[in-house]
Structure 1
Amino acid sequence: MKLNRTTAIVNPRPIKVVQFGEGNFLRAFIDWMIHEMNVQSDFNAGVAVVQPIPQGLGELLDAQDGLYHLLLNGIEKGELINKQMLVDCIQEVINPYEDFNAYLKLAEVDTLQFVFSNTTEAGIVYKEGDQLDTLQESFPGKLTAFLHRRFTHFNGASDKGLIILPCELIDKNGVKLQEIILQYVSDWNLGDDFVAWVKEACTFYNTLVDRIVPGYPKDRIAEIQKDLGYEDQLVVEGEQFHLFVLEGDQKIKEVLPFEKAGLNIVVTDNQAPYRERKVRILNGAHTLMVPVGLLAGIETVRENLENETVSRFINTCLTEEIIPSLPPADGLVDFKDDVLDRFRNPFIKHYLKSISLNSFPKFKTRVLPSILSFNNEKGRVPKHLLMSFAALIKLYAPSDDFQAQDNADILELLSTVWAKQNKGEISLEELVQEVLAYKTLWDQDLNDIPQLHEGVAHYLQAILNEGVTALLESELYV
């Protein structure tokens, strides 16, 4: 039986949330939280999903009338937890690439209160060519146009401002998003009144999200659909653990009833301690293991941890290079051990290829800070993290086994340098230097860091000569 609002009887809800992104994470984290608040309190919030890029799941989600099932698996307080639920908060799906006017019309909804987003680390960026009256390329450009339509429609009413909670994994994501919006406001000459409305009527929170979401359980989907009784093409799987850290005004507790719903949400005036350890240890481990694991022929996170050689590499990265690069704090080793236990969750099959999306921006946010901090503290480069960097560059070489998904300019850069190297026009060391010199990505020339390009080139040559597995078993541990 198909899944839709005819075959599954659910109540409609007023649109209170506009959500930029329809991927697995938002559906297993934000939409699940909204669902829980709807069930456990009188929140009664519906979500309008906006597909932020041309390709996405919008059409499939729309075909199911916004409905999908969430499976939460894991161990909680020593007990095995297996939950499944029908999430019904998504009321509408809009693709602005097909109907820009419908997207702007959404800004006129009176009941709208919140904006959530997850457009990856590559999403909160400024695109110089974006204009007000034509569909913008960037997410901040789209949101600026959306806010301006709302401001205009409600004549600048202060009570029609929105609470904006970006979930992209970059530092100070709310501050950064507001800065880019105000840049567009200036570029488009939208006026001082609108500037004041954005600053005073709208509230931007910095956020940190934490839940491992493998996504669509393709290996077990036939069994799952049979058990559900529906042909749900958007089943999403996640771990039981969750944490949502909000940096900003405590007043959000008055409008988001997460305490009534029993959600693990922290509102603080300083999210830095939470963010630093989570991004550098959990997300950093995910990002550094992807190219190493894939090049070693491994498919999932758990298989990485079950492989003695790769597991030792990951643990060494965390224990000897990442944790020493962090400011001293209690509990870092315990947090690392808990993360590795979460990676070993036997109920979660998290494919490395699914994590590999936008690997270079992720490496910049999640791993590069550890490399730079380690170098500053120790006066040398962290060889295991450099080996992962080299593996990432190798992973993006032309191949029939792996097709990288990343920003177009990054894909073009890697394609160009590998083509030149294959033709003998540049050496392998010069290839590495060109990648490290790409300031558009790194915000600096990484060749200025002593020993960095030499180390990455050394390990890249070793990977080409020996393969990843042989390299892990040899000189790294001498």
Structure 2
Amino acid sequence: MKTINRNECSKLTERVFQFGEGIFLRGFVDWMIDRLNKENGGDYGVVIVQPLENGLVDMINEQDGLYSLYLRGLLNGEKIEETRVVDCVTRGINPFTDTEAFFDCAKNPDLRFIVSNTTEAGIEYKPNQSSDDFVGTTFPGRLAMFMKKRFDLGLSGFVLFPCELIDKNGDHLKECVLKYAADWNYGSDFVKWVNEENHFTNTLVDRIVTGYPRDTAKQMEESFGYLDNVIDIAEIFYL
């Protein structure tokens, strides 16, 4: 049986930078972007960044960013089951093995949106961190480094959609970024750019995403007609 892959290279413009390759974002945000592209003529490519040293981007890249999303549940009292191939992901980056590719994305003037789900503990500030220690710092620290690269290039800022389940997640993420900016002497002009050129949204998100179906994956692949190592499963309901 063949592995799921593209017939031709994606022509989507990379506009979304996504911290997190886990089941939730792939079954929630990327599903929305996929619908936007296919049903409303959107042109939104997603670059996924692996937030931890061990993750799934290699498996996602082996499938050209494609994966199957199986949705099931009740909609207006009717039982719904549907499968779609989500193809908005253009590539995945492991910044721990390819930090250059990570920072190169800051050079893309089309990049406009940043999404994250690094678990509830991911939005964290730690004092006494070094701007030279990419691996050792937190997600907000890496984000501050990325935004500083963007600022130094004279490019526009971002709209940020943190999906971590903490109160006022956007405000907290911005606070962490600015603390790192102060620690690392990024300067008042950068702080002004963060405040005026970027919009940190506070979000509340919800969808039950159960993820890879270990017990039924083989049967599902037989019904799909292709192999898929990162199948995702979610309920119909979402907020």
TM-score surpassing 0.5?
yes
Residue 236 of structure 1 and its aligned partner are, at CA, apart by 0.3
Residue 132 of structure 1 and its aligned partner are, at CA, apart by 2.2
Do structure 1's residue 162 and structure 2's residue 162 form an aligned pair? no
What corresponds to 1:51 in structure 2?
50
SS of corresponding position for 1:71: strand
**Are 2:117 and 2:162, in contact at CA under 8 Å, matched by a contact in 1?**
yes
State the alpha-carbon separation in 2 of the partners of residues 139 and 129 from structure 1: 15
State the alpha-carbon separation in 1 of the partners of residues 61 and 25 from structure 2: 16
Do structure 1's residue 68 and structure 2's residue 67 form an aligned pair? yes
Of the two, which has the highest radius of gyration? 1
SS of corresponding position for 1:82: strand
Match of 2:204 among 170, 194, 208: 208
Residue 129 of structure 1 and its aligned partner are, at CA, apart by 4.0
State the alpha-carbon separation in 1 of the partners of residues 173 and 141 from structure 2: 10
What corresponds to 2:234 in structure 1?
238
State the alpha-carbon separation in 2 of the partners of residues 131 and 50 from structure 1: 21
What corresponds to 1:476 in structure 2?
none
What corresponds to 1:140 in structure 2?
140
State the alpha-carbon separation in 1 of the partners of residues 133 and 238 from structure 2: 38
AA of the residue aligned to 2:227: E
SS of corresponding position for 1:208: coil
SS of corresponding position for 1:92: strand
Where do 5+ consecutive residues of structure 2 fail to align?
none
Moved over 2 A (4+): 9-12, 127-134
State the alpha-carbon separation in 2 of the partners of residues 222 and 130 from structure 1: 45
State the alpha-carbon separation in 2 of the partners of residues 219 and 10 from structure 1: 32
User: What's the RMSD between the two structures over aligned residues?
Assistant: 1.2
Match of 2:173 among 170, 177, 184: 177
What corresponds to 1:199 in structure 2?
195
User: What's the TM-score once normalised by structure 1's chain length?
Assistant: 0.49
Residue 76 of structure 1 and its aligned partner are, at CA, apart by 0.8
What corresponds to 1:149 in structure 2?
149
Residue 177 of structure 1 and its aligned partner are, at CA, apart by 0.2
Do structure 1's residue 111 and structure 2's residue 107 form an aligned pair? no
Residue 134 of structure 1 and its aligned partner are, at CA, apart by 3.2
Residue 101 of structure 1 and its aligned partner are, at CA, apart by 1.4
AA of the residue aligned to 2:170: G
Residue 99 of structure 1 and its aligned partner are, at CA, apart by 1.1
What corresponds to 1:123 in structure 2?
122
What corresponds to 2:85 in structure 1?
86
SS of corresponding position for 1:48: strand
**Are 1:10 and 1:88, in contact at CA under 8 Å, matched by a contact in 2?**
no
Residue 5 of structure 1 and its aligned partner are, at CA, apart by 1.9
SS of corresponding position for 1:74: strand
**Are 2:10 and 2:90, in contact at CA under 8 Å, matched by a contact in 1?**
no
- Greater RCO (Cα-Cα under 8 Å, separation 6 or more): 2
SS of corresponding position for 1:69: strand
What corresponds to 1:100 in structure 2?
99
Residue 181 of structure 1 and its aligned partner are, at CA, apart by 0.2
Q: Which moved more, 1:184-193 or 1:129-138?
A: 129-138
SS of corresponding position for 1:140: helix
State the alpha-carbon separation in 2 of the partners of residues 10 and 140 from structure 1: 32
SS of corresponding position for 2:227: coil
User: What's the TM-score once normalised by structure 2's chain length?
Assistant: 0.96
Residue 127 of structure 1 and its aligned partner are, at CA, apart by 2.3
AA of the residue aligned to 1:151: F
What corresponds to 1:2 in structure 2?
3
SS of corresponding position for 1:27: helix
Residue 41 of structure 1 and its aligned partner are, at CA, apart by 1.5
Question: Which has more strand, going by share of residues?
Answer: 2
Q: Matched residues, percent identical?
A: 45
Match of 1:188 among 176, 184, 190: 184
Where do 5+ consecutive residues of structure 1 fail to align?
244-478
SS of corresponding position for 1:193: helix
Report the number of matched residues. 237
State the alpha-carbon separation in 2 of the partners of residues 40 and 2 from structure 1: 26
